[in-house]
Amino acid sequence: MPKFKTVRGMRDFLPKDAEKMRYVEVAARNIARLYGYGEVITPIVEHYNLLTAKSGEEIRKRMYAFRDMGDRRVALRPEFTASIARLVTAKMRQEPKPMKLFCAGSLYRYDEPQYGRFREFWQANYELIGSSKPEADAEILTLTYDLMERLGFRNYWFKIGHVGILRGILTQETVAEEQQNTIVQLLDKKKWNEALTATHKLGASQSCVAVLKKLLETRGKDVSKVLKEAKHVVEGYEGAVAAVENLQEILELTRNSGIKFETLIEAGFARGLEYYTGMIFECYVPNIEVALAGGGRYDKLIELFGGEPTPALGVAQGIDRLVLAMKKHGVTPKVPEKTKVMIIPVDEELRTKAIELSINLRKAKIPAEVEVMGRAVSKALSNADRREVTHAVIVGPEELREGKVVLKDMKNREQRTVEIANLSKEILEDTS
Ligand code: HAM
């Protein structure tokens, strides 16, 4: 048999790495609970047409798409938002608004594997459905900020823009939506000049191209100054002015509520996904070029899927990328030291007693393992060290006759004889 490897772009997570992934996922799920988001679970396989409806060229080209045995054209989900919009349209129409939904899981994009870019990756995803108000936008920004803070990041920033600025201008110039998408894709790939040429070719006026050029230069960290400039640049394009004002209101709401995060406003910022209609943003840390989170407002998607016109917005945080960034920036998980007990019978006759003791410890919520390799005590103890066990329980015949066992603290190597009836209490007292 050949030696099997993982498929290119796919990864195994060994226990230490899997633990980090789960740590971030649990932190994200906690945020969901704190902000009132209910968790949903949607399938990994969806209809191809659902996933491609408004995902944009970049994602469309990179989907794991295939025909299933019933000849259905399906694909592995490259993101959650389309699935949530489907779910809301099909099964949650009557639910009172706002609907707040959280999900977490694996996604698939046939990206070129590189630092922070994987073919299978994990997101924590939040969608807020039913509100067109800026306070909803402020909430999505706030909860992403909250996750970053709770994970321990101190040096990060949000890149923020508004799709309505660009689309407002192009719509007024009567550039059709499909053609606008081409320009958005070019801007997302940072192909500024090509985007400007395309705008001109698609029939926009010379002065519009000049406005777009200026817009691309309108960026910076002084929020009020940049937004004032942006408003000036787009003067005369009503939709675009309204978009800048909307962004202003969202950011004032977050700032005035006392939340402080570094913000980079980019008036010409575009994201690859085509469903966005309003504020868009991404979150970055130094020395990692890829975004740790991305999101925005998509007010037309649910209607496109056959639902009532429903404003909505959301964000997805990349769990893998957050783990990478934590490693790179020395942000350590705040996990309290975990008690871990190994029960070692000194001979075969005592195996049943060891199993019984382990069951009782677990009943008291203490993680307990039994030595299952038949090792002698000294070997079992060095193995326990390797497994980062905090306490060893040695079950010997003499102590057992008196209803006792030996409890060894693996850190300070001290050991004492304790009553079996008090074993869990003694271990808990040691670690409290
Ligand atoms: P997205 O920007 O495509 O947005 O992805 C969100 C996050 O997922 C990224 O910021 C990144 O952390 C992670 N991510 C994306 N692609 C990869 C990859 N190849 N490898 C590792 N991590 C990756 C969305 O998916 C939207 N559905 C977000 C959203 C929710 N918008 C509204 N609601």
Tokens describing residue 13: 């997570």
Burial 360-395 (b: 16+ CB within 10 A, else e): ebeeeebebbbbeeeeebeebbebbeeeebbbbbbb
Phi and psi at residue 271, to the nearest 5° = -115, 150
Take atom 11 of ligand 1 and give the residue whose Cα is closest.
318
Residue 10 domain-assigned (yes or no): no
Q: Give the separation between CA 32 and CA 38, rounded to whole angstroms.
A: 7
Number of H helices, E strands in the chain: 17, 17
Distance from Cα 325 to the centre of ligand 1, integer Å? 15
Q: Does the beta carbon of 80 lie inside 6 Å of ligand 1? A: yes
H or E stretch at 352: helix 351-363
Show the tokens assigned to 170. 């192009």
Same domain, 322 and 357: no
Do residues 110 and 64 touch, judged by C-beta distance below 8 A?
yes
On whether residue 21 sits in a domain, the answer given is yes
Looking at residue 223, its pLDDT comes to 96
Nearest CA to ligand 1 atom 18: 117
- 306-310 long-range contacts (CB < 8 A, ≥24 apart) are 306/89, 307/85, 307/88, 307/89, 307/93, 308/93, 310/88, 310/97, 310/129, 310/130
Enumerate residue ranges in the chain where pLDDT < 50: none
Domain total for the chain?
A: 2
Instruction: Say yes or no: 288 and 355 in one domain.
Output: no
CA–CA gap between residue 385 and residue 378 (Å, rounded):
11
The predicted structure's pLDDT at residue 54 = 87
Question: Which atom of ligand 1 approaches the CA of 314 most closely?
Answer: 33
48 CB-contact burial (10 Å; exposed 0-12 / middle 13-18 / buried 19+):
middle
Name which residue sits closest to atom 16 of ligand 1, judged by CA. Answer: 117
Residues 68 and 37 in one domain: yes
Quick one: 298 and 211 in the same domain? yes
* H or E element in which residue 358 lies: helix 351-363
| 188 close to ligand 1 (CB < 6 Angstrom) | no
Q: Give yes or no: residues 306 and 348 share one domain.
A: no
In this structure, is residue 291 part of a structural domain? yes
Give the domain range for residue 380. Answer: 341-431
| pLDDT score of 336 | 73
Residues 55 and 182 in one domain: yes
DSSP tag of 67: E
Residues 124, 197, single domain; the answer is yes
CB atoms within 10 A of CB 13: 14
The reported pLDDT for the residue numbered 374 is: 94
Residue 81 and residue 408: Cα distance in Å, rounded? Answer: 52
- For a mutational test of ligand 1's pocket, the pick from 80, 123, 126, 185, i.e. the residue with the most ligand atoms closer than 8 A to its C-beta, is 123
* Judgement on whether residues 320 and 350 belong to the same structural domain of the protein: no
**In the listed set 265, 300, 328, which residue is the last one of a domain according to the structure?**
328
Cα(271)–Cα(181) distance, integer angstroms: 10
CA of 209 to the centre of ligand 1 (A): 30
The protein residue whose alpha carbon is closest to atom 15 in ligand 1 is 318
CA distances from 390 to 104, 156, 338, 385, 425 (A): 32, 36, 8, 8, 15
CATH number reported for the structural domain that contains residue 71 in this entry: 3.30.930.10
What is the reported pLDDT for 333?
81
The pLDDT of residue 332 is 87
Name the closest-CA residue to atom 10, ligand 1: 293
358 shares its domain with 282: no
Distance between Cα 122 and ligand 1 center (Å)? 9
